[in-house]
Amino acid sequence: MFSFQPDRSQYPDIGPDGKFEIDLETGKFLKLWQGPNHPGITGNMSVELTVNGDEVVEGKTHVGYLHRGFEKLMERRTFIQVFPIVCRVCVPEPDFNEYCYAAAVEELAGIETPEKAKWIRALILEMGRFNSYMMSIGGIGGALGNGIVGQWLTYVRDLMLDRFEELTGARIYHMFILPGGVRAGLPEGFEGRMEEVLATAERYLDDTEKLLFTNAVFKKRTKGVGYIDPALFESYGVTGPNARAGGVAKDVRKDSPYLVYDQLDFDVPVEHDSDIWARATVRYRDLRVTIDLLRQILAKMPKTGEVMTSLPNVLHWKIPRGETYIKGESSRGEYGYYLVTDGSGYPRRVNVRGPSYTHAMALLEHLIPGTNIADVAALMVSLHTYPPEIER
């Protein structure tokens, strides 16, 4: 097909080490800052681009705009006081923080979670995944000028936020998964209203398929662009949909099932091209799986039973010495909390493994050289990163 792309083989020169030789003194290059804008998609981070013509020859990531020192804050708070702040480590999908922290505390303190609470936790986590994917797919459309998809899916996400609001009492930071269980059971008639949301979502996703995934322009802009060599997955810590788009069927829900995932029936979608297209497609397919999982959870969930265990007095709750790592499959890959306790009333160390940490920095810097300026936004969105979890 006809191409507007210039012949990139002309410049810049490739040095003996196989890398571009960049000499700003030559006047051939231009420094360009992308960000730190806040579309909520690529978040508050910026990439310092070095461009040669419209080709990006180098990209340096700059983070820290959202740094609030969460892990340090946690060390200065009692175990119960950590609960309200963990969700803030990731704005669009906060619930993994709540789950991982609660599960880590429960393991070290020896607390049993009631069965029904596990189902509600899985429900919450899938609701969060649903919203996160909606943002991601809307975002990839937006990054490539197809804003209408972003509007549609933001609307659908808003409907899910209504469900969050009635279930958890809050829309964004739910603060619902307490160590020991969850704060409440389902409100009256929740299942019916959830089904309405899922049906609406499916209708909009059908339209999204027609507008985005059956779209010559979208295909042209994404296929073959932003390729990640699956051989790099291990060394760059690539997990989740980014890895599944490259043929690696990694999914914590399947590989080491937590909560009630061993009682749910689902397949892990895999693509093979490892480009922007494959990553968007894997997310789209996984979103369909999520919708199915939400229905399964509501159908299989126990209708009665406790949702919360009595805790020891949380005002002077001490947890015996120990350490643990709790992980889960977030919409962006493996999410994990490493918790060390020393027998005192405060966590000795909390380390949050947000998948964005690897994807948004090392991997992005590796992928950027050689792309067109116009593709950088789509590339970033296709990695689906949330900067707050880089800077926890």
Partner 1 sequence: MGSLRDVLSPFTAWKHVIETPVTLKNPIGREAADRYRGFHQNDTEKCIGCGSCETICQNAAIDMVPVDDPKEGDSGLRPQIDYGRCCWCALCVDVCMTGSLTMSNEYTWVDTDPDAFRFIPGVDEKPWDAIAKGYQRPGERMLSGLTRPEMMEMEPEARIDNFDEIVAGYSREQAVLEADRCVECGLCVATCPVHMDIPDYIAAIREGDYDLGTQILYETNPFSEVCGRVCTHKCETVCAAQYEGEPIAIRWLKRHIIDNVSEERRLEIVGTPQVLPTGRKVAIVGAGPAGLTTAYDLARQGHAVTVYEAQDHAGGMMRYGIPEYRLPYDALDRDIAVIRAQGVEIKTGVRIGSDITLAQLKADNDAVVLGIGLHMGRSTRVPGSDAPGVEAAIDLLRRITAGEEVPVPKKVAVIGGGNVAMDIARSMARLQKQKYGAVGVTVTALEDFAHFLADKEEVTESIEEGIEILDARGPQEMVTFKSGKRKGEVKGLRTWKVISIFDDQGRFAPQYDEADEIVHEAEMVVEAIGQMADVSLLGDELTEALQWNRGRIAVDADGHTSEPWLWAGGDSVHGPDVIHAVADGHKLAASVSAMLAAKAEVAK
- Which residues are near partner 1 by CB under 8 A? 1, 77-78, 80-85, 148, 155, 162, 165-166, 168-170, 173, 175, 180, 183-185, 187, 207, 210-212, 214-217, 219-220, 223, 308-316
Q: How far is the CB of 134 from partner 1 (least distance, A)?
A: 14
Output 62 or 220, the one with its CB closest to partner 1.
Answer: 220
Output 151 or 351, the one with its CB closest to partner 1.
Answer: 151
Q: How far is the CB of 84 from partner 1 (least distance, A)?
A: 3
Q: How far apart are CA 335 and CA 237, in angstroms?
A: 12
Beta bridge partners of residue 47, listed in sequence order: 34, 61
245: DSSP letter = T
Q: How far apart are CA 172 and CA 91, in angstroms?
A: 7
305: DSSP letter = S
Output 29 or 173, the one with its CB closest to partner 1.
Answer: 173
Distance of alpha carbon 208 from the chain centroid? 20
Are 54 and 29 in contact by the 8 Å Cβ rule? The answer is no
- Name the residue with tokens 């306790």: 341
Please choose, from the candidates 258, 312, 351, the residue with its C-alpha nearest in 3D space to the C-alpha of residue 72.
Answer: 351
Which contacts of 2-9 are long-range, i.e. CB under 8 A and separated by 24 or more positions? 5/372, 6/53, 6/54, 6/55, 8/55, 8/370
Output 296 or 309, the one with its CB closest to partner 1.
Answer: 309
Q: How far is the CB of 339 from partner 1 (least distance, A)?
A: 17
Output 105 or 238, the one with its CB closest to partner 1.
Answer: 105
Q: How far is the CB of 356 from partner 1 (least distance, A)?
A: 23
Q: How far is the CB of 140 from partner 1 (least distance, A)?
A: 15
Are 386 and 93 in contact by the 8 Å Cβ rule? The answer is yes
Q: How far is the CB of 313 from partner 1 (least distance, A)?
A: 4
Q: At how many degrees (to 10) do helices 95-109 and 115-143 cross?
A: 150
Single-letter code of the amino acid located at 193:
R
Q: How far apart are CA 79 and CA 317, in angstroms?
A: 7
Output 22 or 148, the one with its CB closest to partner 1.
Answer: 148
Count of CA atoms in the C-beta half-sphere (13 A) of 126: 28
Output 173 or 357, the one with its CB closest to partner 1.
Answer: 173
Q: How far is the CB of 155 from partner 1 (least distance, A)?
A: 5
